[in-house]
Amino acid sequence: MPSNLAEAYDLSNVDALFKIKFLKYYDETFNTTTPLWNQTTKTNDFVGKKLEFPVPTTYKGGVGSGRLPESKPATYGDVQITAKKVYATDRVDRETIMASLTSEGAFVRALAETVKKTVQADMWNHSRILFGNGDGSLGTIDTGGVTDNGGGDYDVVISSASFKLANWEENMFVNFGTGTDKFEITLVAPSTRTISVQRQAGGTDVPADADVVYLQNSKDNDPQGLKSVLDATSGSLYNVTVTRKWQAYQRAMGGVGISTPIMNKAMIQVELQSGQVPNMIVTSAEQFEKVLNFLEDQKRYQMVNVPAKGAQGKVSFQGVQFMSARGPINIFWDRFCEPDRMYFLNTRHIKYYRRPNTGWVKDDIGGNGYLRVADEDQFEARFATYGEIFIAPTFHGVVTGLSIT
């Protein structure tokens, strides 16, 4: 549904970028640090209606001593992966393109700026998805958490149990509950967990207590994330029934503070169930700070830099090396991780299967990356990904309910 809230990048709303002479633009001022996303393998070979491959869920029976044993074949699950659609878009006013064709005319060239911002938004969305539960949810409205300011303007308070600051950004569009009306996020107040929103013209949806807030159009449309896969204790994952052999190591701490024994136990338990030692620990800023503090006291860590996967030059993420019972392992914090969680991961068992030619959508006739918007003097850029994130649960572990105070 078209929304009156959508805006194109044009002279009226980016006037501050236009200068007489080109000046050096500031470094990226928004947080795009996404260590796990950058360490995740991506492929562009997902063809056909769905991807299928078998996974063993038991040993083969038929061993014994003293006489010939009875035999039974191993049990296999049929992993089935279907593609989800993930988009990042931006619009550019044609006059603005003409006015900023040279660096003399603009502080930044319009197309370069919109490309950068679209990629930034796509990285934010995929990082959100990677730590999510596959249903597009951002959080849940608290009891008594709705204030009607009139004219489709509302303040909503997100429950403390579901509030994750990284999920909330001004200018993003959301839906409430089962509604389809779009609301623009106009202000985020982290200290009170309050989100101010403006409903599109003509809309009638009203936010209500206990409503789940979804990123626009994303309800039940996200690819799988760590939370949906590693928290599973029943049902199925990728069409395979969740059993002891198709489940992550899980430990609920009930408010206990993180410690070396907790981390060592998780490392060993993941190895016991999968035969492979985790190669990365990912946690929240809150838990990372606690780890730094107790490791500093024990003098048991060193700082490390890990290059982003496939990156050129000196792009890297800084973390610490934890000297576990199974040897050193890198620990990183990610702002999309819930405050009370710590993940013990084998990154080689996390893969994003994508359709060929994932990326910028090109005009089918001219091959142009900017598509003419019907009945408007504007162009639209579209970054499209068709795929699914595959996380084999057996090779990972998650510790939840850690103290954040």
- Among 189, 215, 241, the domain boundary falls at 215
Q: Which domain holds residue 187?
A: 137-215
**Whether residue 327 sits in one domain with residue 185:** no
Domain-embedded: residue 66 = no
Assign 51 to helix, strand or coil.
Answer: strand
**Whether residue 338 sits in one domain with residue 255:** yes
Other CB atoms within 10 A of residue 258 CB? 22
**Whether residue 279 sits in one domain with residue 151:** no
Residue-level pLDDT at 366: 59
CB contact burial 327-365 (16+ within 10 A = b; e otherwise): eebbbbbbbbbbbbbbbbbbbebbbbbbbeebeebeeee
Model confidence pLDDT, tens digit, residues 181-226: 999 999 999 999 999 999 999 999 999 999 999 999 999 999 999 9
**Whether residue 305 sits in one domain with residue 262:** yes
Lowest-pLDDT range, 49-53, 208-212, 243-247?
49-53
Res 8 pLDDT > 60: yes
Distance, CA of 120 to CA of 92 (rounded, Å)? 16
Domain-embedded: residue 304 = yes
- Among 215, 232, 258, the domain boundary falls at 215
Task: Tell me what percent of the residues of the chain surpass a pLDDT of 90.
Answer: 56
In sequence order, what DSSP letters do the residues of 53-114 get, joined into one string?
EEEE-SPPB---SSSPPP-BPPPEEEEEE--EEEEEEEEEEHHHHHHTSSTTT-SS-HHHHH
Model confidence pLDDT, tens digit, residues 144-176: 999 999 999 999 999 999 999 999 999 999 999
- Among 215, 237, 272, the domain boundary falls at 215
**Whether residue 396 sits in one domain with residue 337:** yes
Other CB atoms within 10 A of residue 319 CB? 23
User: Which residue in this structure is represented by tokens 């994330």?
Assistant: 225
> pLDDT higher for 247 or 326?
247
